[in-house]
Amino acid sequence: MTSYEEILESAKRLSSVERLQLADALFAEELAFGMWRGREDGADAEAYVSDLREAGMYTPDGREKTPEEFLGEIETDAQPD
């Protein structure tokens, strides 16, 4: 594996424009995926999203939500605090 120091030295050889491009790319990746790094529940993203969607379909007592209940939640969530 390449060490941090080796990567840093390689980055120092980039032009100013290339350094900015690299920084932008790394920042975008961190914003998009950084919060999921190291989380077990995010290892299988498809299953995780599926579980979230399915959980949102039911009330706390296990009953499937009616369309009205579901839309009511969306309207409540959309209102500013």
Residues facing 64 on adjacent strands: 58
Q: Which contiguous run of DSSP H or E holds residue 74?
A: helix 67-78
Q: Give the mean pLDDT of 20-41.
A: 80
Does 1 share its domain with 26? yes
Q: Based on the domain organization, do 54 and 29 belong to the same domain?
A: no
Q: Is 31 found in the same domain as 57?
A: no
What does pTM read for this prediction? 0.42
- For residues 46 and 31, membership in a common domain is answered with no
Q: Which domain holds residue 24?
A: 1-37
- List, for residues 8-25, the tens digit of each pLDDT value: 999 999 999 999 999 999
Say if residue 24 is in the same domain as residue 3. yes
Share of the chain above pLDDT 90, in %: 35
Are 65 and 59 in contact by the 8 Å Cβ rule? The answer is yes
Q: Does 33 lie in the same domain as 56?
A: no
